[in-house]
């Protein structure tokens, strides 16, 4: 009898093939594939079953602390499928792979509560194969998913169930991240990052990478920082050409309405502010876009360069951005004794400029512009300039073109002639003003004479100071004087 029991136990043990220890690490919300691959020589299975059990040891050995396993997915010999509640409603086992000996379980949109131990059972006439797989779900979480600028944020890498001595690393926007300042620090074996006074530079994708028992999994979560989104960084440089207009952006997150928004101009002297330019304008407040507090300078003049500051408050948190306006122009100087002219690309601040490029712009017979790059230095020597030529200076930084400035030959020549005729025009204006005053006095006197009454009616001595003028002659003199005054005014307007 004892021998029969021993033989029966041996047969039962041989008929059950057990495999354990496979780890699967996936991100929350992704597709999880729990592998269950057996030899392709296995006969057509009578049944395939996936169950979930929170146990510490093999289920066939039993455990006093184990929970009853719950069926996730099952198919019997007739081909009928059964799906359990919860995770079973999002699970499946593709039949097309059965012939290759693959009975892997696919779980869609994995949740944290799906984590745990799963057992795959493949039963045939000759053998029963069981495999144990541990599913671990990774999730990146923030203490606040939309923090305001200046707030403190904790970033955590949550693993369900938590493994012992797993390796955790981080990436930010695809690049490895390591704390480099007091505002960034690890806690809890690198599973958490504490960010102090968060700013727009921390907005993006945070990825937690977990390595455990030779397997790797990762999860990514996006962090949005509420505040001034454009410009995203402080002390943003804005390049512009003298005489043109320039936009100074100051755009908040679309759901924010800043309190007491304003613009100031930073002075070189500590504690003092420069006045804003006369052509400085702030975008009017709109109920449709209350988050847009941008400004612009209608015409940039010399001296408008410098630092401008956009200010505002959201929920009692002060937010500000500094924009550095850098101006550019082309200066012309006389050439050498051999003639020609020198053009210099002058930029008010050359920090960040790596190279210059000169381009000649001409118009052909069809009014099509032709741009020809031909010089790559800051200063350009021109032997002879044509009237219709324009010379464009481009300046570049490490990431490409920053701005440009243009020299118009015809426009600058006309401007120079106007400036040279300045003293003569002033003298002419003074002469015409004196002439206008004299003509005005004559008209006044003639008007008084015309108003006098005939001496026969009022023979007073005053009537004989200036003889009366006939009315026809008076009207003729009026027309002459008015015509002279009109010509003088037209001459003044032309000057």
For the chain, give percent helix, strand, coil, nearest 5.
20, 40, 35
The residue behind tokens 């012992």 is 164
Please, are residues 65 and 56 in contact by the beta-carbon 8 Å criterion?
A: yes
Question: What SS3 state is found at 245?
Answer: coil
Q: Which two tokens stand for residue 297?
A: 């300078």
Task: Assign a CATH topology to domain 327-419.
Answer: Immunoglobulin-like (2.60.40)
The residue behind tokens 């509560």 is 113
Write phi, then psi, for 472 (nearest 5 degrees): -65, -45
Query: Which of 307, 276, 312, 318 is CA-nearest to residue 291?
Result: 312
Note if the bond before 161 is cis, omega within 30 degrees. Answer: yes
Residue 414 has pLDDT above 90, yes or no: no
Please, are residues 54 and 71 in contact by the beta-carbon 8 Å criterion?
A: no
User: What residues have CB less than 8 Å from 429, skipping those under 6 apart?
Assistant: 492, 495
Please, are residues 357 and 433 in contact by the beta-carbon 8 Å criterion?
A: no
3-state SS of 260-303 is EEEEEEECCCCCCEECCCCCEEECCCCCCCCCECCEEECCCCCC
Please, are residues 30 and 112 in contact by the beta-carbon 8 Å criterion?
A: no
**Distance between CA 274 and CA 266 in Å, rounded?**
6
Query: What are the tens digits of pLDDT across the range 133-147?
Result: 999 999 999 999 899
- In degrees, rounded to 5, the angle at the alpha carbon of residue 91 between the alpha carbons of residues 84 and 123 is 75
**Distance between CA 225 and CA 147 in Å, rounded?**
5
CA torsion sign, 181 to 182 to 183 to 184? Answer: positive
CATH 2.60.40.10 fits 14-137, yes or no: yes
Query: What are the tens digits of pLDDT across the range 106-121?
Result: 999 999 999 999 999 9
Please, are residues 49 and 71 in contact by the beta-carbon 8 Å criterion?
A: yes
CA 488 remoteness from chain centre:
58
Query: What are the tens digits of pLDDT across the range 357-368?
Result: 998 887 766 666
How many residues are present in the chain? 495
Q: How crowded is residue 358: how many other Cβ atoms within 10 Å of its Cβ?
A: 22
CA torsion sign, 261 to 252 to 248 to 316? Answer: positive
CATH 2.60.40.10 fits 143-223, yes or no: yes
Query: What are the tens digits of pLDDT across the range 130-181?
Result: 999 999 999 999 999 899 998 999 999 999 998 888 889 999 999 998 876 5
Q: Mean pLDDT across the chain, nearest whole number?
A: 79
**Distance between CA 398 and CA 352 in Å, rounded?**
8
274 pLDDT tier (thresholds 50, 70, 90)? confident
Task: Assign a CATH topology to domain 230-325.
Answer: Immunoglobulin-like (2.60.40)
Give the strand pairing for 116-123 and 105-107.
unpaired
**Distance between CA 394 and CA 424 in Å, rounded?**
38
Query: What are the tens digits of pLDDT across the range 452-475?
Result: 544 444 444 333 333 444 455 555
Query: What are the tens digits of pLDDT across the range 55-107?
Result: 443 444 444 445 578 899 998 888 888 998 989 999 998 888 887 888 999 99
**Distance between CA 388 and CA 361 in Å, rounded?**
9
Query: Which of 396, 428, 442, 407 is CA-nearest to residue 493?
Result: 428
Residue 6 has pLDDT above 80, yes or no: no
**Distance between CA 422 and CA 392 in Å, rounded?**
29
Please, are residues 104 and 33 in contact by the beta-carbon 8 Å criterion?
A: yes
pLDDT (0 to 100) of residue 170: 93
What's the whole-number mean pLDDT along residues 200-229?
A: 94
């Amino acid at each position: 009898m004892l021998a029969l029991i021993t033989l029966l136990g041996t047969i039962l043990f041989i008929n059950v093939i057990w495999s354990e220890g496979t780890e699967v690490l996936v991100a929350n919300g992704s597709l999880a594939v729990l592998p269950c691959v057996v030899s392709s020589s296995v006969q057509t299975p009578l049944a395939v079953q996936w169950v979930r059990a929170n146990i510490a040891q093999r289920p066939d050995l039993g455990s006093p602390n184990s929970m009853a396993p719950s069926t996730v997915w099952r198919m019997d010999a007739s081909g009928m499928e059964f799906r359990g509640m919860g995770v079973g409603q999002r699970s499946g086992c593709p039949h097309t792979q059965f012939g290759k000996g693959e009975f892997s379980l696919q779980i869609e949109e994995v949740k944290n509560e799906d984590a745990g131990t799963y057992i795959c059972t493949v039963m045939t006439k000759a053998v029963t194969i069981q495999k144990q797989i541990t599913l671990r779900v990774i999730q990146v979480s923030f203490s606040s998913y939309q923090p305001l600028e200046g707030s403190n944020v904790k970033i955590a890498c949550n693993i369900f169930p938590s493994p012992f001595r797993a390796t955790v690393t981080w990436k930010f926007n695809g690049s490895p991240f390591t704390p480099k300042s007091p505002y960034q620090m690890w806690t809890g074996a690198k599973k958490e990052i504490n960010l102090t006074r968060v700013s727009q530079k921390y907005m993006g994708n945070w990825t937690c990478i977990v390595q455990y028992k030779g397997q790797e999994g990762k999860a990514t979560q996006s962090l949005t920082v509420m505040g001034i989104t454009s410009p995203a960084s402080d002390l943003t440089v804005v390049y512009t050409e003298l005489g043109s207009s320039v936009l100074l952006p100051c755009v908040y997150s679309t759901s924010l309405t800043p309190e007491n928004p304003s613009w100031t101009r930073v002075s070189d002297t500590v504690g003092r502010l420069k006045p804003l330019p006369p052509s400085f304008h702030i975008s009017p407040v709109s109920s449709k876009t209350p988050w847009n507090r941008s400004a612009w300078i209608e015409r940039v003049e010399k001296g408008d360069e410098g630092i401008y500051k956009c200010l505002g408050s959201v929920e009692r948190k002060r937010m500000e951005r500094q924009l550095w306006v850098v101006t550019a122009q082309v200066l012309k100087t006389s050439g050498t004794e051999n003639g020609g002219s020198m053009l210099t690309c002058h930029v008010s601040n050359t920090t960040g400029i790596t190279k210059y490029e000169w381009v000649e712009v001409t118009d052909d017979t069809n009014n099509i512009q032709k741009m020809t790059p031909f010089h790559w230095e800051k200063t350009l020597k021109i032997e002879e300039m044509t009237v219709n030529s324009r010379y464009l200076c481009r300046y570049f930084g490490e990431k490409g073109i920053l701005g440009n400035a243009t020299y118009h030959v015809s426009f600058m020549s006309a401007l120079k002639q106007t400036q040279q005729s300045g003293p003569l025009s002033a003298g002419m204006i003074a002469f015409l003003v004196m002439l206008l005053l004299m003509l005005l006095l004559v008209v006044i006197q003639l008007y008084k004479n015309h108003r006098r009454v005939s001496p026969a009616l009022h023979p007073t001595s005053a009537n004989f100071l200036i003889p009366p003028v006939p009315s026809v002659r008076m009207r003729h003199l009026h027309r002459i004087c008015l015509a002279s005054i009109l010509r003088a005014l037209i001459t003044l307007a032309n000057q």
